[in-house]
Amino acid sequence: METIFWIGVVAYITWHLFRRWQEKSRGRPRTSKPQPPSADRASLKKPHLLVSKASKKAWNIEPKDVFKREYISFTRIKTYKTCPRMFELIYLYGFEERSGRAAQVGSLVHKIVHLYTVHHKSQLSDQLKSVTAAEELLKFCDQAASTIHLTYHIPKTELEPYLRNFVILNRRSNFQVQLTEHECDSIICDYKLKCIIDRIDAGQIIIDYKTGNPQNAVNHQLNVYAYALCGGKWTPLQMVFQFLKTGEARDWKYTPQLHRTAEEWLLEGIHEIESAKVFRRNTSRLCDYCGVSEHCYRVP
């Protein structure tokens, strides 16, 4: 009897192991877990369908208050006109804008030129006529880099063409620098208008340095700067873009008509933004350079 008992035990274990092997080979689990309804299964495949109205992230500030509580600037309105969604993410939600490599190159070049200009002050025009001016500019690179947050490695050799073009563009005539990186605060209606001007020369001349493509520079920028200066009872006469990437320059006279146009452009932008209910996404090649693109499709 004992022999029959152990034969039965061995047979049972063998049969049980055989069944487990069959189930595994067929790809079926031993036990089936309860499955969600078909609608829920569909939502699991599409996570964005799980976002409800309750989970929508709230703005930090309403469109109607963004300029009343803070300030208006050319950059803010230009951002809205380029892509309302980008404006929403930066100025309403408050996401930090990451600067790309090209922007950091531009910031570094601007800071080098600023430090060099401040160092030489009234003798800048004469100093730029020196054959070693470009090399001397480059000596301010480390000091400039220590004052800004760089996340990319930017070799000095990459900066040399911009600095050489700065020297070439400014050694052609005598000039007197009055201010550099001038922070201008003004008023339009009941709004604070802010801007930072790269350089102001004697003779009421506004100069802005550009390290990007000249085609991307819009005259509205300097016209808005001039409008802000007019609020301080100082009327600019000439606007100048210096394109340090190409060695070109663009200049024009600031007229009463341009003054009115700048005011209309600012007021129109304020009205559009304050009354906006939806901030549409403008998809373009510029999306690759957007500093808040990682939030564009994540935030409802």
Query: Residue 224: what pLDDT?
Result: 96
- The answer as to whether 280 is a domain residue is no
Nearest 5°: CA angle at 246, between 137 and 208? 65
Mean pLDDT rounded to a whole number for the chain: 85
Domain that holds residue 114: 67-274
Output the pTM of the full model: 0.78
Distance between alpha carbon 230 and the CA centroid of its chain, in Å?
28
Of 2-11, 92-101, 127-136, 157-166, the range with the lowest mean pLDDT is 2-11
Query: Residue 31: what pLDDT?
Result: 42
CATH of the domain at 173: 3.90.320.10
Tally of structural domains, the chain: 1
Query: Residue 8: what pLDDT?
Result: 60
pLDDT digits (tens, 9 = 90+) for 197-219: 999 999 999 999 999 999 999 99
pLDDT at 172 over 70: yes
Query: Residue 16: what pLDDT?
Result: 58
Query: Residue 285: what pLDDT?
Result: 85
- The answer as to whether 19 is a domain residue is no
Comparing 235 with 16, the larger pLDDT belongs to: 235
- The answer as to whether 200 is a domain residue is yes
**Gap between the Cα atoms of 145 and 111, Å rounded:** 8
- The answer as to whether 85 is a domain residue is yes
Of 2-16, 38-52, 202-216, the range with the lowest mean pLDDT is 38-52
- The answer as to whether 289 is a domain residue is no
**Gap between the Cα atoms of 102 and 108, Å rounded:** 10
Query: Residue 107: what pLDDT?
Result: 97
pLDDT digits (tens, 9 = 90+) for 16-35: 565 665 555 544 444 444 44
pLDDT at 2 over 70: no
pLDDT digits (tens, 9 = 90+) for 125-148: 999 999 999 999 999 999 999 999
CB-based contact 67:80 (threshold 8 Å): no
Nearest 5°: CA angle at 226, between 95 and 140? 65
pLDDT at 271 over 70: yes
- The mean per-residue pLDDT over the stretch 61-78 comes to 95
Instruction: Please report which confidence band the pLDDT of residue 7 belongs to, taking 50, 70 and 90 as the band edges.
Output: low
Taking CB atoms within 8 Å and a gap of at least 24, the contacts of 264-272 are: 265/77, 265/220, 265/223, 265/224, 266/72, 266/77, 266/188, 266/193, 266/224, 266/227, 267/188, 267/189, 269/72, 269/77, 269/80, 269/81, 270/67, 270/72, 270/77, 270/191, 272/80
- The answer as to whether 98 is a domain residue is yes
Backbone phi, psi, residue 180, to 5°:
-135, 140
Buried b or exposed e, range 52-84, using 16+ CB within 10 angstroms: eeeeeeeeeeebeebbeeeebbbebbbbbbebb
- The answer as to whether 199 is a domain residue is yes
Of 49-63, 83-97, 142-156, 157-171, the range with the lowest mean pLDDT is 49-63
- The answer as to whether 201 is a domain residue is yes
